[in-house]
Chains A and B, each alone.
Chain A
Amino acid sequence: MAHAYVPGLKVVPNTTVKKARQLPLKGEILKKVGEKVKATDEVAKTHLPGNIVPTNIANKLNIEPADIKDFMKKSEGDSISKGEIIAQTDGIFGFFKSTVHSPIDGTLDSFSHITGQAILREKPIPVAINAYVNGVVDEIISDEGVVVKTQAAFIQGIFGIGGERRGELKIITDGENSPIEEKMIDESCKDKIIVGGSFLTHSAFQKAIKVGAKGIVVGGFNYNDIKKIIGYDIGVAITGQEDIKTTLILTEGFGKIHMAKQTFNLLKKHEGDIASINGATQIRAGVIRPEVIIPVKPDAKKASENQEILGMDIGTEVRIIRAPYFGMIGTVTGLPHKLQKLESGSFARVAKIKINEANKEALLPRANLEMIENK
């Protein structure tokens, strides 16, 4: 049997999802294994070192850096308050003293007799991470965080921008083939995760940001418009840290492409449900795809965990991921062994695909097909 490995994106109605929730630094774990958590619950917290504020004492006092120690009123490690004197010259007969006041509350970290600079550190900044999804703590990552397990509908996108968001799903297009336009977005989209069909216009994205939508899940978007939104080109697909309030997840790719019907239907089925989304994408080794997680009740029959993914076979449903049938869905009807000549002149391994939408059968390079993983 000729199997072919073709990576696919998951669109699963009911599966077990595990999410590692890790602190940026070691800290305190707030939950125990087996404990139920809500998405907004804090699961771990820590304190980041305070911001550093360098202050050049020697310059301010008009002294040599080597002499700085003689004029410091605070020692390394001392607490300091805003406005407090941290260094001072003796002046002349007690007059004309030069003084440096602390600009912050915090500690005096260090001072250098080479540069004459003092390093002041603000108070530590508390940082906490939440559970991101409703679920159960499955595992503790020692001093760093927890793994939250949940039963959920799980959809992987192909590309996204923006970080973790949570909100109610709101379908705003008729179907998977319709684009999201500016006029469809109004105040009712505030705090919602908007779901649309084939395309998101630039102005619609801007409007969604303006009304305060938490996220958008849609088939396609113009590559060019990403720069207009975030201010720079994305050279390699490593995203998630963009400074935008509305996370964007593309399920298909760049340009106008229908959202896969089953993706749209699954999202539609959960309209009104709360979803957790993350646009973070990394298309390199250690790949990360954007995701939509919608917690559901466990379904023992349907739930699929660690299911082995077999290769492409006769009858497999595939998505065509390159021109000329880009975005269309088809079914494998043949897997010829021999290399076939393409229009471009290259020889490649192909698969015979019945393309439902175009109502025809075509030989397409296997590399341009993607399995739809719905189990």
Chain B
Amino acid sequence: MVKKEIKSILATDCGSTTTKAILIERQDNGVYRLSTRGEAPTTVEAPFEDVTRGVLNSVKEIEEIRGRKLLDEDKIITPQEGEIGVDIYISTSSAGGGLQMMVAGLVKAMSAESAERAALGAGAIVMDIIAANDGRLAHEKISRIRHLRPDMILLSGGTDRGNIKTVVELSELVKAANPQPRLGMNYKLPVIYAGNKKAAGEVVKNLNEISDLSVVPNLRPTLESENLDPARDKIHDLFMEHVMAQAPGYKKLMAMTDAPIMPTPGAVGHIMQVIAKNEDITVVGVDIGGATTDIFSVFKDLETKVPVFNRTVSANLGMSYSISNVLAEATLPNIQRWVPFEIDEVDLRNRIGNKMIRPTTIPQSLEELKLEQAIAREALRLSFKQHKSFAVGLKGVQKERTISDAFEQTSSGVTLVDMMDLDLMVGSGGVLSHAPKRNQAAKMMIDAFLPEGVTQIAVDSIFMMPHLGVLASVNEHAATEVFNKDCLIRLGTCIAPVGKGKIGKDYVNVKMDLPDGTKFDKTMKYGELLLVKAPYEAISALITPVGRKVDVGSGPGEAVKTEVFGGSVGVIIDARGRRPFVIPEDPKERVEKLQEWSKAIEEYDEN
């Protein structure tokens, strides 16, 4: 399949909202470079209900822009002959929207809640929680299961020495409902059983015929312990294998490609791990889409110091299909705190609602852009919060709860995500990759993730990490070349001290030998933000906190001598403080402060 002399590669990524195509061509000097990109709305909806329409439309755009024939009616021409066609066509896909699950457990506050945690951790939207004691009559539950048409059901219930009968009853309810999958009628709905192991036999009897049943270890083996990993892993597997593969037209797409279609998050995760490995660094990556937001991280294990890769899918946080859910979860005040002008609350809610029901629209005015970027900050912040609670200790170690906190249900485990230890943040997805100015992408990531100490920031130039992730599986050489030259845009470095300060008082001193030969030396006051423009080159820097409680990475009050990198944005000194990071609550004061910070970063080109 892999040819030696590949001249051109066409790659598409079918997102839930937009299908993005890129054309990679080998230059005369033998180097692979990005040549053209095109995009079109994803066509999983009526009237087409065929993902390949969007693919062909996006390729057609490349044809028009590049002025090269790639399509023969509805076929991609391979291999390349002269100036016609391409040598390889590959694709990733996340079409089909997010993962919509229904979970069931015995007791609402116990096993049903554990099941919910497992599903949420795996990135699902939990459509409903069915519990034996949820107050609804059995026929109401049956009707609910049938109507919602979930992508998957997670059935739990009973500790391993506990109730069998009621767990079996729950499986009878599911059997009675005989739920049909949301997409495609020709496959059985995936159901995961993660309850009392002694009930597994009966559950299998009930559900084996009507569903694609998987049995995994009990997620609540005893009252005091929770073991969510097997259920989470199974959810991830089934999402990739079943749900995504049912997006309309997917089978046709599989026949068109020269390599197996990779799920978008899988491809992006692959590239993130390559970055971490090649540069021996800690990385946080984000891919914010229309329906879902994926967060990836590579941090070292607290005990073994072995790099651990983690990925979460926040299936209910995205910029179009799920945008109203961002509003519901973040609440309006949290979104408003990022809007740099006064806006009527009803108007803001209507705009968000309209984006939800017309998910493929784009902001035309600057005001609309600022609103979308405000919402994006909250979607990113919430997704990251979810990631931090998921990216904990090593797998296989059960998270013990004591009897006393078995009733509190607080999040367990210590997070691996240490912001002070973070070396690089990489942003991807429409709202970050397509931000009209890179400064906007940098500021969104800083505001949402609140990096601490010294952290480099990069974005995927035009959202091509998924394409390169799958390309690496076919031609690693081409993938690496394009990745380094065209994909990753180094934005710069954020220097952010941690610790409280007083507004207007000296907070941190930064000295840098800039690449143009000038010496930078400035003491920043608490609450200030500053952009120092510098290209992507190593810059020697001395960062000295003012005051004994301020930390920039070497401990409170200690100076840090390090190398920082500029980039297409530059070095951002963020003296707004961390733990806590505060935005004024008074609306007038808040707008003034947001505008001041925005100007400091040259976020928008306004007169």
A binding-site residues for B, Cβ under 8 Å: 2, 5-7, 24-26, 48-52, 54, 110, 112, 114-115, 117, 119, 125, 158-159, 222-224, 233-238, 240-241, 253-255, 281, 283-287, 309, 321-324, 326, 337, 342-349, 364-365, 367-368, 370
Contacts and interface: CB of A to CB of B under 8 A. Distances in A.
Given A25-B178, A117-B165, A255-B354, A233 B328 contact: yes
B365 A367 contact: no
Contact of B138 (A51, A117, A234): A51
Interface stretch (B316-324, B335-343, B404-412, B480-488): B316-324
A51 B321 contact: no
B139 A343 contact: no
A253 B196 CA distance: 47
A233 B352 CA distance: 12
Contact of B350 (A254, A349, A368): A254
A322 B361 CA distance: 7
A235 B326 CA distance: 7
B369 A254 contact: no
Given A110-B165, A285-B44, A349-B61, A49 B434 contact: no
A233 B364 contact: no
Given A114-B164, A117-B165, A287-B45, 6 more contacts: A48-B176, A54-B132, A236-B316, A284-B97, A344-B363, A345-B369
Contact of B127 (A26, A223, A238): A238
B350 A255 contact: yes
Nearest to B360: A367
Interface of B: 16, 40-41, 43-48, 53-54, 57, 61, 64-65, 95-98, 100, 125, 127, 132, 137-139, 142-144, 146-148, 163-166, 169, 176-178, 182-183, 247-248, 291, 316, 321-322, 324-325, 327-329, 345-347, 349-354, 356-369, 434, 436-437, 604-605
B369 A346 contact: yes
A234 B323 CA distance: 10
B349 A224 contact: yes
A365 B165 contact: no
Contact of B358 (A5, A235, A370): A370
Contacts of A370: 358
A52 B356 CA distance: 39
Contacts of A344: 363-366, 368-369, 436
Contacts of B354: 223, 253-255, 321-322, 326
Contact of A345 (B165, B325, B328, B605): B605
Contacts of A345: 366, 369, 436-437, 604-605
Nearest to A288: B46
Centre residue among A6, A54, A110, A344 by max chain B CB count within 10 A: A344
Nearest to B247: A285
Contacts of A223: 324, 346, 349-350, 352-354
B441 to A, nearest CB: 12
B329 A235 contact: yes
Contacts, number: 209
Nearest to A159: B357
Contacts of B350: 222-224, 253-255
A72 to B, nearest CB: 15
B43 A5 contact: yes
Contacts of B329: 235
A254 B164 contact: no
A287 B291 contact: no
Nearest to A110: B165
B50 to A, nearest CB: 11
Contacts of A114: 163-165
Given A115-B166, A283-B356, A342-B364, A5 B137 contact: no
A114 B169 CA distance: 14
A190 B139 CA distance: 31
A348 B363 CA distance: 10
B189 to A, nearest CB: 14
Contact of A49 (B41, B139, B163, B248): B139
Given A223-B350, A235-B325, A283-B357, A365 B364 contact: yes
Contact of A24 (B47, B146, B183, B324): B146
Centre residue among B45, B61, B139 by max chain A CB count within 10 A: B139
A184 B47 CA distance: 37
Contact of B436 (A224, A234, A309, A346): A346
A129 B213 CA distance: 30
A237 B137 CA distance: 26
A83 to B, nearest CB: 21
A237 B324 contact: yes
29 contacts: A24-B177, A26-B178, A51-B137, A52-B169, A54-B132, A112-B164, A117-B166, A223-B324, A223-B352, A233-B327, A234-B324, A236-B321, A236-B325, A236-B356, A237-B357, A238-B100, A241-B147, A254-B349, A254-B354, A255-B350, A281-B357, A284-B16, A284-B96, A284-B98, A322-B361, A323-B367, A343-B364, A343-B365, A367-B41
A7 B436 contact: no
B142 A48 contact: yes
Given A223-B350, A284-B291, A287-B45, A49 B363 contact: no
Contacts of B177: 24-25
Contact of A368 (B65, B137, B324, B362): B362
